[in-house]
Structure 1
């Protein structure tokens, strides 16, 4: 009799264990296994995907610049001998290439490995709001398999715009995760501090327009700091914990500044120039700002520095006038790329650099900086005394032209139109990885450089050759990339179309009280939306010169090429909104 009672008591316990095991299997083990398998597949595909080094004509300021800098870094020569392009851009991307060579990690594997870590960080970041592991796995895989990384523009070409993607995801994810855990103990926040540092420091070195992420970072930090201060006053807590929290908020930006200072110091010791690059910092950047501010009555916004403005500057600056012949000859060469009369957009600054270095072939960074410092002083003095007329308005960047008050509404309208067009993803689809894309230079012309880069990047680096000599394995892998990319674009288009209605639905549910801590969610979503819009607004202003001399399609191509950050932020916003809705449905179903 007692034995039967024992058996009856054990039966419910056994049944409960089975139910717990099944629940764990369905909700934990299977989604984690699913994510691990698809991550491995993505890494294998990336490892086999070919990468191309373009060293031919037209790449001196792009691919070839990064390749030369990476090879010099790998050889322990910093960025190499000083020349026209040595300090034209930030050294972050060549550092990554050199790191891959030093560690023998294939470039494409490092790339997708970094992306996987960033996507995992985002999936973990939203866990306080999204409890379903299945939903977070879908979010993780959606970002990991983003069609951005199945394009030649961002993944198969050795160019820095693609490498921005994982570090942008990591930086934003770090602050989202940190913000959602702002009330947790300090020890819980430490991993998010580390993630912020690992995201922001490389991001600040890869491209010069790092400032786009700072508003999101600063607003998140400010909201957290104000909340902590209010909580400390309300609960009468001591100042020690508050000081520790605020110190952690400041730490990532302090380390970004410290890293920039170190690189600037190395550049100064090596070349005599203090800064991470000459184009956006230092005296040359100030002269670019001076030139774009000269008012000659030019109405075409695509002309940043007109010939009239250039002539006025040459008249106003005796130092600048010493290289007049070389500058004018450079302008004549560069305007052939346009209408034969003017140099459009930021190409004016490349023409300016070429003119100087053609005139001063033995120039060092120190003498170049001194020359442009004198020109800057003379131009500013002339502007103060009325020698040259200057424009007024908002300065988007150090080198871009000023935005007048009359330009604001057209600029906002064009940004909205361009953003909507980019979200159709036509430009991305045109540049999906395909089996036939090859370098265009004659075989053997850059064989030495290609061989050296192959050592840095890995055995999947393609050499220049004929269009039909692509290895069968390479063609097969590229075909798989193409079809996966097509599927990704189709899915992303659907999500883009649904973004607005789902956002409205989420707001309505929040108003009705069906969303937990709605203000927290809406603040993060609004921050991402404004970040995407602000970034694209700056990009639109930067590439609008294309509309003055080229076609609208050319303008869209440029806008898309320089907009990986825009695509990334929009994708994160979509993942956040859809994950929140799916999480609500998951909780309702249970």
Structure 2
């Protein structure tokens, strides 16, 4: 009877202890409600990005894996299309489901810190800081059908899993196993979502060493090995599944053709050639192509297309006349693939990759024999270095750093959609979501809903533009607290393993952030004729020295480059039907 009388008091005490959970849930619901004001920004002619993901998702939903094979079928990882297909099956609005995934990642990040026995306000601070990340409700790109809707939560989950594993180093095997599996699975999915996911490997290697090394000493060595093998198996499972399905349907065992050695070698061989004038943003100049035609019969098959309509459509029209057909490095890989398809070599994956191997072998042989001026052997898509790149990057660094904390130009309202009814129909059909008004498509005016959405967007705009100073203050306070803690440990001549792990997490995160921001700046400054309007993300290198503080969430640069009025910027790649590298 005493137990019965005490149970309500026990429940009330539990509610008081976990008050922050209810506040966090209320914040998550509020954000979901606000984001329903954001329709999808549909770009009907983005055949290499938004529309491609939707077509692949429709094929998956129809039970045909990625559909009929062509030059775009295996161009990008299938994880995001599979996610869109699953959401289509569930019948939920796509933006709603994408935000649910991010909220779940935020919650697991807080859960990973549980062994620290943080106060409720600290847990709420961690969750709220991640939740209100303006990256997740920016209107220009986060309302598009692009892969960052998964790469952001996957990256957060990878870090959370490693932190959760490290903080449970003194727990049993069963307590640590879920975190090891989560780490492996999310890392595997992340790798299959974007082709340039190598930026995360530095942080993963650093944190993995810190998370597993204390467990590899003494009698725990066997259990640590089992955890590592479990993580490896979880990471390999998505890769093997996708590669097996690709082999079954297309005759090639691999996740994406951008990972295929044949294609990477062929592109690298073309970039080797150094003939005629060298331009900062052109990896394979027209002069180089003309020289390659004479030494590679395989590449010569592409001449009618690269020097014809395909080359004209992809040519840079800002620094050159389009008739010159000088194709920027960021677009040449797509022009190259389109030309191979037009030449009839995409009947199967094996035939396409064999053709790329022929080009690689013929061009490399000519370069090695001195029949054509060339750089050293290359493979992959990194553009050749040009002296002008250094000045461009130096000019971009201050802008990038300023933009990392300047949200004054933040805008959550998506642009008008692009396309006719036929072009945007697939967006409505597969996403189960609204799209922003398209001038060339049918639009039904809903006045009451429009007024409500406008009020929600005003609130999101205010939040996005005013959160920068708060995040900056939080970062500064975290570093001050870390310094004070460091002084305390030095004076007491003590060693704190959680503090050491936090410092390691900061170092790993800082290294990955620098490589990410550097690669973003390098790509925009070396592969495009002008800095692209795609706003670069900054996975902040600000952290956490203190175990109670997470790394600051990713942030974006919102402004166009100084001195570049809107009228002087080239049309966006999306509006020209070109890939957004997303």
Query: TM-score, normalised to structure 2's length?
Result: 0.82
The structure with the largest alpha-carbon Rg is 1
**Residue deviations 1:537-563 (CA, integer Å, cap 9, x gap):** 1222221136x633xxx44x3352xx2
SS of residue in 1 equivalent to 2:257: coil
Say whether residues 1:90 and 2:74 are aligned partners: no
TM-aligned CA distance change 1:135 to 1:451, over 3 Å: closer
Q: Distance in 2 between matches of 1:409 and 1:323?
A: 33
Q: Name the counterpart of 1:585.
A: none
Out of 72, 77, 89, which is 1:102 matched to? 89
Q: Distance in 1 between matches of 2:470 and 2:547?
A: 12
TM-aligned CA distance change 1:475 to 1:320, over 3 Å: farther
Q: Name the counterpart of 1:14.
A: none
TM alignment of 1:120-159, pairs within 5 A: 120-129=107-116, 131-159=118-146
Alpha-carbon offset, residue 423 of structure 1: 0.5
Q: Name the counterpart of 2:48.
A: 61
SS of residue in 2 equivalent to 1:100: helix
Say whether residues 1:438 and 2:436 are aligned partners: no
Alpha-carbon offset, residue 190 of structure 1: 1.6
TM alignment of 1:202-241, pairs within 5 A: 202-229=189-216, 231-232=217-218, 237=219, 241=220
Alpha-carbon offset, residue 373 of structure 1: 1.2
Out of 1, 18, 26, which is 1:29 matched to? 18
Q: Which moved more, 1:497-506 or 1:485-494?
A: 497-506
Out of 43, 48, 61, which is 2:32 matched to? 43
Q: Distance in 2 between matches of 1:559 and 1:32?
A: 34
TM-aligned CA distance change 1:420 to 1:528, over 3 Å: same
SS of residue in 1 equivalent to 2:76: coil
Q: Distance in 2 between matches of 1:266 and 1:24?
A: 48
Alpha-carbon offset, residue 446 of structure 1: 2.7
Say whether residues 1:369 and 2:347 are aligned partners: no
Out of 518, 521, 537, which is 1:537 matched to? 518
Q: Distance in 1 between matches of 2:11 and 2:57?
A: 52
**Whose helix proportion is higher, 1 or 2?**
1
Does the aligned pair in 2 maintain the 1:52–1:156 contact within 8 Å?
yes
Say whether residues 1:301 and 2:280 are aligned partners: yes
Alpha-carbon offset, residue 150 of structure 1: 1.5
Does the aligned pair in 1 maintain the 2:301–2:343 contact within 8 Å?
no
Q: Name the counterpart of 2:240.
A: 261
Q: Distance in 2 between matches of 1:423 and 1:479?
A: 27
Counting matched residue pairs gives: 533
Q: Name the counterpart of 1:6.
A: none
SS of residue in 2 equivalent to 1:544: helix
Q: Distance in 2 between matches of 1:470 and 1:391?
A: 59
Q: Distance in 2 between matches of 1:37 and 1:420?
A: 33
Unaligned runs of 5+ in 2: 1-6, 552-582
Q: Distance in 2 between matches of 1:270 and 1:22?
A: 57
TM-aligned CA distance change 1:574 to 1:218, over 3 Å: closer
TM-aligned CA distance change 1:170 to 1:225, over 3 Å: closer
SS of residue in 2 equivalent to 1:183: coil
TM alignment of 1:93-492, pairs within 5 A: 93-129=80-116, 131-229=118-216, 231-232=217-218, 237=219, 241-296=220-275, 298-329=277-308, 330-338=310-318, 339-340=320-321, 341=324, 342-360=326-344, 363-392=347-376, 398-402=380-384, 413=394, 416-426=397-407, 429-433=409-413, 437-442=415-420, 444-446=421-423, 448-453=425-430, 457-461=431-435, 464-465=438-439, 470-472=445-447, 473-474=449-450, 476-477=452-453, 479-492=455-468
TM-aligned CA distance change 1:71 to 1:509, over 3 Å: same
Q: Distance in 2 between matches of 1:315 and 1:132?
A: 71
Alpha-carbon offset, residue 474 of structure 1: 4.8
Alpha-carbon offset, residue 154 of structure 1: 4.3
**Residue deviations 1:299-320 (CA, integer Å, cap 9, x gap):** 5332222223222322221221
Does the aligned pair in 2 maintain the 1:345–1:542 contact within 8 Å?
no
Q: Distance in 2 between matches of 1:246 and 1:478?
A: 54
TM-aligned CA distance change 1:42 to 1:372, over 3 Å: same
Query: TM-score, normalised to structure 1's length?
Result: 0.81
**Residue deviations 1:241-275 (CA, integer Å, cap 9, x gap):** 41231232243344333322321232222223332
